Amino acid sequence: MADFEQTEVSNAQSHAGERYFVRFTRAQRYMHAVLFTTFLGLAATGLPMRFSESFWARRFASGVGGFGSIIFFHKFFAVVLTVAFLIHVKEVFTRGLLHREKGIFWGNTSMVANWKDVKDLFGHMRWFLGLGPKPQFERYAYWEKFDYWAVFWGMIVIGFSGYAMWFAPFFAHFLPGWALNAVLVIHSEEGLLAILFIFSIHFVNTHLRPDSFPMDMVIFTGVESEEEFKTKRPEEYQRVAAQGKLESRLGVKPPIWLLNFSKVVGFTAIFIGLLLLVLTLSAYFGG
């Protein structure tokens, strides 16, 4: 890892001269903030319902005013998340279809999986076992695409089943009776999957693994250092550099207040998430 050594050296020599590149726009960062805030809210109010027999569920529920209030907040966060989801879908289609922006639905910068992602997945796992070189990732690595589509599919499934329960008599006009039983099973299992996945896999893959530990700040600040860019997404870096577009991606080094603010918010979110994970596991395995 020659690159890595250089990083260490350059870090030691001059920190001020480092260049920063934009990875996420302001809108994307806000979207993530809305997403994780509502997700935490939905998890915190959904889990007591899913595990209503557990020792903490009733205490938590009575702490916030009983289940009338639990369900109110659950629906509130659900509506906010639905609006955010619709804004995102509109944005994608506006950029892709209306503005004919390239790379939205296909290509190096798209969220849509391609053959390279399959090769990267197997290549990455070979590297885990010391059987091959580390894959050179593009703008979005395969696990990031998985995260995106898991959330995308999750929101459709959980959202639809949730609204089917909320407006059950209305949905009964075009759903058979047994579907009303099924939506609870689907809603709670898919919700549980989302919670377990985000609070364990996503947290570790994105924030807690040694390369990003303790938190990848890029989703909060929008920018990352040139070294990070180079090591984490070498193929994108080389492609942008080859196109001579590195300059257009240049960003500003994040001010200290933004870093600190992001850390407080981020660590709070991670703490709540891990707490909910522990409670979920205790209820799941504690019976």
Applying CB under 8 A, the residues found at the interface with other proteins are 1, 4-5, 8, 48-50, 52-53, 57-58, 61-62, 65-71, 124-125, 127-130, 143, 150, 165, 168-170, 172-173, 175-178, 180-182, 184-186, 189-190, 192-193, 196-197, 200-201, 204-205, 209-211
Q: Which is closer to other proteins, CB of 107 or CB of 214?
A: 214
Q: What is the DSSP letter of 254?
A: P
CB of 104 vs other proteins, minimal distance in Å: 26
Give yes or no for a contact between 95 and 45, defined as CB atoms under 8 angstroms apart.
Answer: no
Task: Give the position of tokens 């998340």.
Answer: 81
Q: Which is closer to other proteins, CB of 92 or CB of 184?
A: 184
CB of 227 vs other proteins, minimal distance in Å: 13
CB of 10 vs other proteins, minimal distance in Å: 13
Q: Which is closer to other proteins, CB of 210 or CB of 244?
A: 210
What is the DSSP pairing of strand 223-225 with strand 250-251?
A: unpaired
Give yes or no for a contact between 21 and 226, defined as CB atoms under 8 angstroms apart.
Answer: yes
CB of 259 vs other proteins, minimal distance in Å: 22
Rounded CA separation 88/27 (Å): 10
Q: Which is closer to other proteins, CB of 97 or CB of 172?
A: 172
Q: Which is closer to other proteins, CB of 10 or CB of 28?
A: 10
CB of 20 vs other proteins, minimal distance in Å: 23
CB of 77 vs other proteins, minimal distance in Å: 16
DSSP per position, 104-155 = SSSSTT-SS--HHHHHHHHHHHHHHTTSSPPP---SS-HHHHHHHHHHHHHH
Residue among 264, 204, 226, 262 at smallest CA distance from 30: 262
DSSP bridge partners of 225: 20
Q: Which is closer to other proteins, CB of 111 or CB of 196?
A: 196
Q: Which is closer to other proteins, CB of 31 or CB of 215?
A: 215
Q: Which is closer to other proteins, CB of 99 or CB of 119?
A: 119
Tokens of 164: 């089917």
Using CA atoms of 77, 83, 88, 90 in order, give the dihedral in degrees to the nearest 10.
Answer: 170
Residue among 137, 114, 135, 113 at smallest CA distance from 123: 135
Backbone angles phi, psi at 193, to 5 degrees: -60, -45
CB of 29 vs other proteins, minimal distance in Å: 25
Rounded CA separation 180/164 (Å): 7
CB of 155 vs other proteins, minimal distance in Å: 16
